Structure 1
Amino acid sequence: MKQRIITAVIAGAAFLGIIILGGIPFTVLMFLLATIAMGEILKMKGITPLSYKGGISFLFMWILLLPDQLLPFGTLHMDRAEMFLLLIVVLLAVTVISKNAFTFDEAGFVILSSVYIGLGFHYFLEARFLEEGLVFIFFILILVWVTDSGAYFCGRFLGKHKLWPEISPKKTIEGSLGGIIAAVVFGLLYAWFFPVFDSTAVTVVFILIVSVAGQLGDLVESALKRHYAVKDSGQVLPGHGGILDRFDSLIFVMPVLYLLAFI
């Protein structure tokens, strides 16, 4: 527990400090976190990160992750989606050229994993660089963290009915609802001092979306770890597991917010 607290304080302070700093340091941090998370998910699958399969995986993820100004889309006369689709075609061709040493199953895993991690961190980058990006990012982080804490404590003291035992045996319906209620309370309190939206109704809808999507993101990673029979995604953060363990909710929330035109 002591190690867990020390890690949380040091890593949390450094993370928040770089978010406030923004700019290149924040971009570099997102690149490093996404790269580590991709390495973690590759190891779950049994793909060595430093192999050619790992290299292809990182390339796919980086194309989705990095800001437009860092990738030569203009020079190549194509946008991010077109480049990604082109690489998918190449990737499918590799399954033939390699005589199934690189299988269709692995190709699908690479594509889905790169979308999951690359777009999640990409939209976190995009959100920070909005006009009121810092206030917006802190709002999302508070909602995700409060939901997680509220769900944990309500589940621990009030939980009786399992939420999804096949995926995460310890999570309860009471805990999930407690997390949502905590997010609404603290979210409205934050919005009182730092208004993100002009309408209270929009603010409440936003809070509910982030809280529910964050819990779903946590379940997605739980399903992933259960499928590959691992306890933690990695050991980068002593007492807390890997990067994917810490950012599973956030990287699921960000694409959802983009699709719903909040970013």
Structure 2
Amino acid sequence: MKQRLITGVIGGAGFIGLIILGGIPFTLLMIALATIAMWELLRMKRIQPFSIRGATGMLFMWLLLIPENLVSLNWIHLQRLELFLLLIVVLLALTVITKNSFTFDEAGFVILASVYVGYGFHYFMYARFLDNGLWLIFFILVLVWATDSGAYFAGKRFGKRKLWPEISPKKTIEGSLGGTALAIIIGAIFTLFIPIFPSWGIAILFMLVVSLTGQLGDLVESAFKRHYAVKDSGHVLPGHGGILDRFDSLIFVMPIIYLLGFLY
């Protein structure tokens, strides 16, 4: 517990500090976190990160992650998504060239993992650099953390009915509802002082989306770990596990709120 607390305080302070600082330091932090998260996923699948398969996965993820203003692809006359699709074709061709030593299953994993991690951290950066990005990021973090805390304490106090025992045996329906309730309460207090959205209706809808999709993101990572029979995604954060263990909710939330039009 002491180690977990120390890691949380030091890591949290550094993370918040770089979010406030923004710019290149924040961007480099996001690239580092995404790279470690992709590394963790590859290791779950028993793909060595320094192998051709692992390096290909990293390349795919970086293509989706790194902002256009940092690395331009104009010199090859292809849009980033077009290059990504071209590389998917090359990756599938490798299953034939390698006579299935690189399997279709592994190709699919590499593609899906790169989209999951790359777009998750990409839209976190995207949100930070909006006009109201700093407060928007803090709002999202507050909602995710309130959901986690509310779910934990409500689950311990009132939890009886299992939410999804095949995926995460300890989570309960009561805990999930408690997490969403606390997110709305804390989010409403935040909105009273720092209104991010033009109306309360949009603000409450945003709170619900972040809280519910954040919980779904947590279950998605739990499903990964259960499928690959690992307790934590990694050990880079003493007492907390890996980067995916800490950012699973956040990187699931970010693409969804972008697609729903909340990032403007």
Q: Give the TM-score category using the shorter length.
A: over 0.9
CA deviations 1:216-258 (Å, max 9, x no partner) are 0000000000000000000000000000000000000000011
CA–CA separation in structure 1 for the residues paired with 2:163 and 2:7: 29
Alignment correspondent of 2:235: 235
Measure how far apart 1:21 and its partner are: 0.2
Query: Tell me, which stretches of 5 or more residues in structure 1 are unaligned?
Result: none
Q: Which runs of 4+ in 1 moved over 6 A?
A: none
2:127 matches 1:127: yes
Contact 1:35 1:58 in 2 (8 A): yes
Contact 1:49 1:55 in 2 (8 A): yes
TM-score, normalised to structure 2's length? 0.99
Deviates more, 1:122-131 or 1:76-85: 76-85
Alignment correspondent of 1:188: 188
- 3-state secondary structure, aligned to 1:171: strand
Query: Tell me, which stretches of 5 or more residues in structure 2 are unaligned?
Result: none
- 3-state secondary structure, aligned to 2:170: strand
Alignment correspondent of 1:112: 112
Measure how far apart 1:71 and its partner are: 2.7
How many residues align structurally? 263
Q: Over the residues paired in the alignment, what is the CA RMSD in angstroms?
A: 0.6
Contact 1:64 1:118 in 2 (8 A): yes
Measure how far apart 1:73 and its partner are: 2.4
TM-score, normalised to structure 1's length? 0.99
- 3-state secondary structure, aligned to 1:166: coil
- 3-state secondary structure, aligned to 1:69: coil
CA–CA separation in structure 2 for the residues paired with 1:58 and 1:100: 21
Equivalent AA in structure 2 for residue 246 of structure 1: R
Equivalent AA in structure 2 for residue 152 of structure 1: Y
Measure how far apart 1:72 and its partner are: 2.7
Alignment correspondent of 1:152: 152
Alignment correspondent of 1:63: 63
CA–CA separation in structure 2 for the residues paired with 1:143 and 1:72: 34
Equivalent AA in structure 2 for residue 6 of structure 1: I
CA–CA separation in structure 2 for the residues paired with 1:80 and 1:71: 10
**Structure 1 residues 1-263: aligned runs within 5 Å:** 1-263=1-263
CA deviations 1:43-77 (Å, max 9, x no partner) are 00000111111100000000000001223322222
Measure how far apart 1:100 and its partner are: 1.2
Deviates more, 1:253-262 or 1:76-85: 76-85
CA–CA separation in structure 2 for the residues paired with 1:72 and 1:194: 35
Deviates more, 1:93-102 or 1:224-233: 93-102
Measure how far apart 1:95 and its partner are: 1.1
CA–CA separation in structure 2 for the residues paired with 1:246 and 1:253: 13
CA deviations 1:183-228 (Å, max 9, x no partner) are 0000010011111001000000000000000000000000000000
CA deviations 1:10-36 (Å, max 9, x no partner) are 000000000000000000000000000
